Amino acid sequence: MRRVSRTTRQRGVEALTELGFTGLEAEVYAVLVEIAPVTAYRVANVLGKAAANVYKAVESLAQKGAVLVDDGASRLLRAVPPSELLARVEREQRRAREQAERALERLRRPEADDRVYRLETREQVMERAETMLRDARQLACVDAFPEPLAELRGAIDEAVGRKVRVLIQAYEPVDVPGARVVVAPRGQELRAAWPAQWLNVVCDAREHMISLLRSGGGEVVQAIWTGSAYLSVIYYSGLVAELERSALVARITEGASRARLEEEIAYWRQTSTSTSSEPLAGVAALKARLSDPT
């Protein structure tokens, strides 16, 4: 019978407790993976635990679909293969997350929140950026140095796939199919001058985030997020103006014709006010708020 070290077993126990199993449930399952089929009494002896407690843990594991119980008199136990168990846990956690998200969304208050919130960690910054892109319906602008832009590619590609118009100011050439990418004229110079990387995102002129992150996946220097329509419209307008300038500088540098420059100007003029001939959500919300006498 193959035996594994106590340290190896403990690692498996710790991994299972992080997935929501009790400590004893995790210990019982780990033993069954190692030496099954055995009786619950034998498991209790291996663990040095009270048999009554192990029997309760086995019953709980069986209800969770983690162990199989022989229907004969011996009541031998066998662990469900780890890959099968973990796949089930993943499905159940995903289902629970979706149910929680639906329930909590019903609690969201629709009134405007003009507060500005600090983000303390890099994980918060990236999660907030991904959520913003996932919630975008019309247009998303991303102003990002190479490291955070690469981290955000999955969320950007998903937004493009939903037909969200994505504008990117990058600081080195990058191919993002379906998005309008403008490379900052002094991108290389800026990257050399700054010992950090910024990631700024504004979606639908409705919410925006500004963040400065230390290079190499480091800590947050400063980061804020707000759902203020007014502040987001102002930031959106400024970022689009910067994108227009960068695009025009690139066209002039490459010797574009007057007609091509006028075409570029027309594109950004339309982008600065609407998308698909519809006001951006932030603009519409701000105007509606201003027209409401209450």
**Which one-letter amino acid corresponds to residue 92?**
E
- Read off φ and ψ for residue 164, nearest 5 degrees: -75, 135
- Read off φ and ψ for residue 65, nearest 5 degrees: 75, 25
Which range has the worst mean pLDDT, 27-41, 91-105, 134-148? 91-105
pLDDT, residue 9, reads 79
Cβ contact 115:226 at 8 Å = yes
Instruction: For residue 37, give the nearest of 85, 66, 8, 69 by alpha carbon.
Output: 69
1 has a pLDDT exceeding 50? no
pLDDT, residue 113, reads 80
Cβ contact 27:12 at 8 Å = no
Strands across the sheet with 165-170, in order? 116-118, 220-226, 207-214, 196-203, 139-144, 165-170, 180-183
Strand partners, 201: 142, 209
pLDDT digits (tens, 9 = 90+) for 86-131: 888 888 888 888 888 777 776 665 566 889 999 999 999 999 999 9
Quote the distance between the C-alpha of residue 39 and its chain's center.
44
- Give Cβ neighbours of residue 152 (< 8 Å, ≥ 6 apart): 126, 129, 130, 133, 142, 144, 199
> CB 197: neighbour CB atoms within 10 A?
22
**Secondary structure element (H or E) that encloses residue 8, with its range:** helix 6-18
pLDDT, residue 138, reads 92
Q: Give the strand pairing for 278-279 and 196-203.
A: unpaired
pLDDT digits (tens, 9 = 90+) for 231-290: 999 999 999 999 999 889 988 988 989 998 888 888 888 787 655 467 888 888 888 888
Quote the distance between the C-alpha of residue 180 and its chain's center.
22
Q: What is the number of helices (H) and of strands (E) in the chain?
A: 12, 11
Tokens of 257: 């014709």
Considering only residues 99 and 134, tell me which one the structure prediction assigns the higher pLDDT: 134
* Helical ranges in 19-169 per DSSP H: 23-35, 40-47, 51-63, 82-105, 122-135, 146-151, 153-161
List domains and CATH numbers for the chain: 6-101 (1.10.10.10), 116-291 (3.30.870.10)
Mean of pLDDT over the chain: 87
Average pLDDT over residues 140-149: 95
The rounded distance, in Å, linking the Cα atoms of 29 and 9 is 10
Angle of CA points 134, 233, 113, to nearest 5°:
70
- With a pLDDT cut of 90, the percent of the chain lying above it is 47
Whether the bond into 81 is cis, omega within 30 of 0:
no
What is the pTM assigned to this prediction? 0.65
Average pLDDT over residues 52-73: 88
